[in-house]
Amino acid sequence: MITIVEANSKQLLKDFVKFPFELYKNHPFWVPPLIADEMETFDKDKNPAFKSAEAYFYLAYKNNKIVGRIAAIINWNEVKEQQKSKVRFGWWETIDDVEVTKALLEKVYELGRKNNLEHVEGPMGFSNLDKVGVMTEGFEEMGSMITWYNYPYYASHLDKLGYVKEKEYLENKFPFENVKPEFFLKAQELIKKRYQLRPLNFTKTKDIMPFVDQMFDLFNKSYASLSSFVAITDIQKEYFKKKYISFINPEYIKFVLDKDDQIVAFSIVMPSFSEALRKANGKLFPFGFYHLLQARKNSKDVLFYLIGVDPEYQSKGVTAIIFNEYYNTFTEKGIKNCIRTPELADNHAIHNIWKHFNPEIFRRRCTFKKNL
């Protein structure tokens, strides 16, 4: 018999966070999150996502043992402002038992029907900066701190329960040696002169902070046309600024400014923390923090986390300026591999940006949808 319990206490939420550590124990490609970071994500008093989202967390038990978990989420900005009658599910993990998945999803349906919503989609988080999608290919590739890893049976569970694929995301990678400066060196000089643009690089995090709000505004503007996009609120900007910007190497954040010092393009790259997180195994102390600092300083793999260009400049080759700046930084640091985080398969504009580097699709993931 499967029993579903709401994780509505600190201890139950901790059980919710720690369940994947048991499910993927000794798995060679799963990357564990930081337990404290996950606990903060689910804390209604700390995560501003709860200002515009409603979420409930559930654990599945069988024979008095936890066998699954799920979050049922409504992003009210999405429902009210974009008129998308959708309930989300996320942070879904389960043993290979479709009845467990079915029982967990029933709690999501209850929330959706209670609020007269028309369909369910997931897995996805509160916002576009959260993790997204069930892996459908690439199970023998190392995960990352900004994606979910899952077993191959996850997609088959949803298929058996009548779900259909809604959005597909691609993850690409290429060796840094594929980056040839002749593809952008002359172009970026011409573009800078033609549009009176200049790159802005950083060596100190404190120098980035005055630009962060403007960067998030541009993020909202540049991604607004994508069907899955929900804008980042002002409160969320402050939260992400404090939580993430200081964690990223300042030299890995690049801006392009116009003649009035307004940001027209930006990119955020992160060192790969995968191996460091595996060593930390969810804990910052006593040694986890050391492993993360070492990765921040010495990792030879980098993840392209975000790249945004003002719609007015999206067809003007501005990314050539960004690539030139990263080429210089990565050459100096001896970077070996460049990894791109999930991008919508139908976002052809973003794929065209990278075509000269011969990227390889190494993983696919999807969100799945079902009418209520």
Give domain status of residue 270, yes or no. yes
Q: Write down which residue in 129, 148, 170 finishes a domain.
A: 170
Q: Tell me the two tokens of residue 275.
A: 């191996």
Q: Which domain holds residue 58?
A: 2-170
Looking at 154, 170, 186, the residue that finishes a domain is 170
Indicate the number of domains in the chain: 2
User: Domain check: are 295 and 238 in the same one?
Assistant: yes
pLDDT value of residue 127: 84
141 and 185, same domain (yes or no): no
Quickly tell me which residue has 């993790």 as its tokens: 131
What is the distance between the alpha carbons of residues 351 and 358, in angstroms, rounded to a whole number? 11
Tokens representing residue 162 in the block:
């009548």
Phi-psi region of 196 (alpha: psi -120 to 50; beta: other; left: phi over 0): left
Please check whether residues 195 and 323 belong to one and the same domain. Answer: yes
Over its length of 372 residues, how does the chain's per-residue pLDDT go in tens digits? 999 999 999 999 999 999 999 999 999 999 999 999 999 999 999 999 999 999 999 999 999 999 999 999 999 999 998 899 999 999 999 999 999 999 999 999 999 999 999 999 999 999 888 999 999 999 999 999 999 999 999 999 999 999 999 999 999 999 999 999 999 999 999 999 999 999 999 999 999 999 999 999 999 999 887 766 788 888 888 888 887 888 899 999 999 999 999 999 999 999 999 999 999 999 998 899 999 999 999 999 999 998 999 999 998 999 999 999 999 999 999 999 999 999 999 988 888 889 899 999 999 999 999 999
Alpha-carbon distance of 204 to 280, in angstroms, equals 26
Measure the CA–CA gap between 253 and 234, rounded to whole angstroms: 21
Q: Do 303 and 265 fall into the same domain?
A: yes
- Contact assessment for residue 274 and residue 294, using Cβ atoms and an 8 Å cutoff: no
Residues 20 and 144 in one domain: yes
Q: What is the CATH number of the domain that holds 141?
A: 3.40.630.30
Q: Are strands 65-75 and 53-62 parallel, antiparallel or unpaired?
A: antiparallel
Residue 128 near residue 228 (C-beta atoms within 8 A)? yes
51 and 120 fall within a common domain = yes
Q: Of 148, 170, 192, which residue is a domain's last?
A: 170
Is 371 part of a structural domain of the chain? Answer: no
Q: Are 263 and 346 part of one and the same domain? A: yes
| 359 shares a domain with 325 | yes
Partners of 254 in the beta sheet?
A: 267
Residue 245: CB atoms within 10 A of its CB come to 17
Q: Alpha-carbon dihedral of residues 159, 161, 165, 168, nearest 10 degrees?
A: -80
Which tokens go with 196?
């009176």
In a shared domain, residues 102 and 234: no
